């Protein structure tokens, strides 16, 4: 394998930053040329022309595009993401409230998908072409094929409306909102820190269904990739030697195969986690989850470019950090990628 050095890691990080900048430019330009009037959304369609022009100048929309973008970038360097048109709050404040909800939902989902997907994929590989393997492939195919919103609606009808096994849409019941001090923004963590078990279990009943819906789509990908990685390792000579020595299947998995596919799995899990954070938009809408997906959707409906660009930046930063950590994991867990000193 080609040796991997820290300068190469820095180069990859630079490429990700450059990609994020290009995405920011493209999103900004498209948002400005779309036939949507954010000024009209603020002042109303029947506003006085003078008030309309004053608000347009206040937002900087009367300037050329490159000047608008420069103003945005200089403000961003100061940590100022602008003011949201819809809420009237600083965008950073809105994101500080919305992003933890998405982070909590995606984290819960990736834990579920990992706990199910990795063992299922390895079991399917060990019993290749068996009934278990065929069932696993069907489950993965369904997870890739059926839209998330369909699963969400069906799940609400069955588990909430009919069986009443889960909580209603939202993070917690209305009568429990605001009872727990938001220390981290993660309701499950904050309720445990506060020792409020009623809020905790109520929050669990609300998060379990949307998390399972999200986890299913991620699990399909994790299962398929784990099966592929495991099949590749099963054809290696060291597995044949271990079997010849009488090693059990469990020992072969834990002592031989799993360490060899760990780095690949870390990359898959990082991609899945980023995809869950980004792809929670539809799930959040279906389940009225007050996260960044719902916030960004509302921003798109009102043409709030400050909020849209900020959400794009946050999602891009998430992918950048996850890719960076994935590359760092290669350096830590795979000695073949470390630079060898002369």
123-177 confidence digits (pLDDT tens): 888 888 889 889 988 988 888 788 888 888 899 999 998 988 988 888 988 888 8
- pLDDT mean over 329-341: 57
- How high is the mean pLDDT of the chain? 81
Distances (CA, A) of 290 to 170, 295, 298: 7, 7, 11
Residue-level pLDDT at 279? 67
Provide the CATH number for the domain around residue 119: 1.10.3720.10
* Domain range enclosing 49: 16-80
Q: Residue 198 pLDDT more than 70?
A: yes
140 Cβ contact list (under 8 Å, min separation 6): 219, 220, 221, 223, 224
Q: Do residues 97 and 70 share a domain?
A: no
Q: Do residues 256 and 277 share a domain?
A: yes
85 lies in some domain: no
Give which of 226, 228, 219, 186 is closest to 203, Cα–Cα.
186
213 in Cβ contact with 152 (< 8 Å): yes
Q: Of 24, 58, 80, which marks where a domain is finished?
A: 80
Distance CA 260, CA 230 (A): 9
Question: What are 177's two structure tokens?
Answer: 């909102």
Q: Do residues 65 and 105 share a domain?
A: no
pLDDT digits 0-9 by tens, 50-87:
877 887 787 777 778 778 888 878 877 787 887 787 78
Q: Do residues 190 and 133 share a domain?
A: yes
Q: Do residues 60 and 101 share a domain?
A: no
Residue-level pLDDT at 36? 65
241 in Cβ contact with 154 (< 8 Å): no
Q: Do residues 122 and 259 share a domain?
A: yes
Q: Assign 203 a pLDDT band (cuts: 50, 70, 90).
A: very high
Question: What are 139's two structure tokens?
Answer: 């489950």
């Amino acid at each position: 394998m080609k040796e991997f050095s820290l300068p190469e890691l820095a180069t990859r990080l630079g490429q990700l930053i450059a990609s994020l900048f290009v995405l920011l430019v493209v999103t900004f330009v498209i948002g400005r040329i779309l036939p949507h009037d954010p000024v009209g959304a603020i002042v109303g369609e029947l506003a006085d022309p003078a008030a309309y022009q004053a608000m347009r100048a206040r937002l900087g929309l009367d300037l050329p595009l490159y000047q608008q973008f420069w103003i945005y970038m200089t403000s961003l360097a100061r940590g100022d993401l602008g003011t949201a048109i819809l809420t009237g709050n600083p965008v950073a404040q809105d994101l500080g409230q919305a992003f933890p909800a998405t982070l909590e939902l995606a984290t819960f989902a990736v834990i579920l998908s990992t706990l199910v997907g990795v063992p299922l994929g390895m079991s399917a590989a060990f019993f290749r072409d068996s009934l278990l393997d065929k069932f696993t492939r069907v489950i993965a195919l369904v997870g890739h094929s059926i839209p998330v919103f369909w699963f969400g609606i069906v799940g609400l009808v069955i588990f909430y409306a009919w069986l009443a096994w889960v909580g209603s849409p939202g993070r917690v019941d209305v009568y429990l909102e605001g009872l727990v001090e938001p220390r981290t923004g993660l309701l499950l963590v904050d309720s445990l820190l506060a020792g409020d078990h009623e809020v905790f279990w109520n929050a669990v009943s609300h998060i379990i269904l949307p998390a399972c819906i999200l986890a299913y789509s991620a699990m399909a990908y994790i299962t398929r990739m784990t099966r592929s990685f495991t099949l590749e390792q099963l054809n290696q000579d060291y597995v044949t030697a271990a079997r010849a020595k009488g090693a059990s299947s469990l020992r072969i998995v834990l002592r031989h195969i799993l360490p060899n596919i760990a780095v690949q799995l870390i990359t898959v899990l990082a991609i899945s986690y980023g995809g869950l954070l980004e792809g929670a938009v539809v799930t959040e809408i279906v389940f009225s989850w007050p996260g960044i997906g719902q916030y960004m959707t509302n921003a798109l409906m009102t043409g709030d470019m400050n909020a849209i660009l900020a959400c794009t930046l946050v999602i891009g930063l998430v992918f950048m950090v996850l890719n960076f950590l994935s590359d760092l994991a290669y350096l830590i867990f795979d000695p073949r990628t470390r630079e060898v000193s002369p």
